[in-house]
């Protein structure tokens, strides 16, 4: 795999992901599934998406049989779920390697901004009538309050980095939700969407600092963001900085 993800980072973001994501779309996804569905979670990492959906399923007396697929076995090793089938698989070259024949639905969280438009179109062509819940796809960049003069340059560099090839071809990056919705609608799916941004500030300092440092590291290849990084860290420390991180949830179902 071209792009690695750190288990500590996934653990840090999980509470913010749970708070941000659309319960309405998650419940609508569960509504269209059989009583005991088998769901494949793509790019499952340590199982955050499955944990979130399990909690909502249990609340309605539903049990999900999970197939967690990820290219990094060390992340799947850390998946805290009662029971699941695991598939260690790098699916970047071709989504057809995914064995979706026996599953009722596909889910993913924080994945599809990594893929290319071509990869996503090939993936959609495999779905058949299976519903897709794609949570927390990156979109719209960041909102910074108060603003810093270097924000526009840093945001442009960040958007460029999001489009970098992560093994799937040129990544959709921040354009992913719009491209995904259009591709799914063209394939005959009914597409529902919800904005699901993180709202960060003094109440979640560890994640906010990790975001600021992560952005600075990601954009270093395009220009010098070290001064911006110091000013943003100082503003976080003084409690005056609020940061919005754009995401969107998408539910695609057949009518
Ligand atoms: C941003 S993380 C999201 C993890 C998890 N869904 C979550 O929300 O916490 C992206 C995940 O996709 C996996 N991934 C990235 N590229 C992959 C590939 N080519 N094949 C399989 N898994 C991949 C990574 O290992 C990582 O677990």
In this predicted model, what pLDDT tens digit does every residue of 231-241 receive, in sequence order? Answer: 999 999 999 99
Distance 111 CA to ligand 1 centre (A): 6
Specify the pLDDT at position 3.
81
Decide if domain 7-141+155-199+244-253 falls under CATH 3.40.50.261.
Answer: no
Specify the pLDDT at position 255.
81
Ligand 1 neighbourhood includes 116 CB (under 6 angstroms): no
A 10 A CB-CB count for 211 gives 21
Residue 252's pLDDT band (cuts 50, 70, 90):
very high
Specify the pLDDT at position 1.
72
Q: pLDDT tens digits for 165-198? A: 999 999 999 999 999 999 999 999 999 999 999 9
- Longest alpha-carbon distance in the chain: 54
Whether residue 151 is predicted with pLDDT greater than 90 in this model: the reply is yes
What residue's CA is closest to ligand 1, atom 4?
Answer: 45
Distance 49 CA to ligand 1 centre (A): 11
Ligand 1 neighbourhood includes 45 CB (under 6 angstroms): yes
Question: What are the residue boundaries of the structural domains of the chain, listed by start?
Answer: 7-141+155-199+244-253
Q: Which stretches of the chain are assigned E, i.e. beta strand?
A: 38-42, 65-70, 85-88, 105-109, 132-145, 190-195, 198-200, 242-253
| Dist. CA 105–CA 40, nearest whole Å | 6
| Dist. CA 144–CA 240, nearest whole Å | 11
Closest atom of ligand 1 to CA, residue 111? 10
3-state helix, strand, coil in the chain (%, to 5): 45, 20, 35
11, 15, 70, 214, best to mutate for ligand 1 pocket (most atoms within 8 Å of CB): 70
A 10 A CB-CB count for 3 gives 14
Q: pLDDT tens digits for 84-127? A: 999 999 999 999 999 999 999 999 999 999 999 999 999 999 99
Distance 55 CA to ligand 1 centre (A): 21
Q: pLDDT tens digits for 11-67? A: 999 999 999 999 999 999 999 999 999 999 999 999 999 999 999 999 999 999 999
| Dist. CA 144–CA 97, nearest whole Å | 40
| Dist. CA 250–CA 139, nearest whole Å | 12
């Amino acid at each position: 795999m071209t792009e690695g993800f750190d288990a500590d980072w996934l653990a840090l973001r999980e509470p913010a992901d749970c708070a941000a994501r659309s319960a309405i779309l998650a419940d609508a996804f569960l509504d269209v599934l059989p009583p005991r569905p088998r769901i494949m979670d793509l790019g499952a990492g340590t199982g955050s998406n499955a944990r979130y959906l399990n909690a909502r399923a249990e609340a309605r007396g539903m049990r999900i049989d999970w197939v967690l697929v990820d290219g990094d076995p060390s992340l799947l090793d850390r998946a805290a779920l009662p029971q699941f089938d695991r598939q260690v698989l790098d699916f970047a070259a071709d989504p057809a390697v995914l064995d979706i024949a026996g599953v009722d639905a596909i889910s993913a969280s924080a994945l599809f901004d990594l893929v290319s438009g071509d990869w996503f179109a090939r993936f959609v062509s495999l779905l058949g009538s299976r519903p897709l819940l794609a949570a927390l796809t990156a979109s719209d960049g960041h909102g910074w309050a108060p603003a810093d003069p270097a924000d526009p340059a840093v945001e442009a560099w960040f958007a460029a980095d999001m489009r970098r090839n992560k093994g799937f071809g040129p990544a959709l990056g921040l354009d992913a939700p719009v491209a995904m919705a259009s591709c799914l609608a063209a394939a005959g799916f009914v597409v529902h969407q919800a904005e699901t941004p993180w709202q960060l500030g003094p109440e979640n300092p560890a994640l906010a600092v990790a975001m600021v440092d992560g952005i600075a590291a990601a954009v270093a290849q395009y220009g010098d963001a070290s001064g911006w990084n110091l000013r943003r860290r100082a503003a976080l420390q003084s409690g005056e900085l609020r940061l919005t991180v754009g995401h969107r949830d998408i539910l695609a179902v057949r009518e």
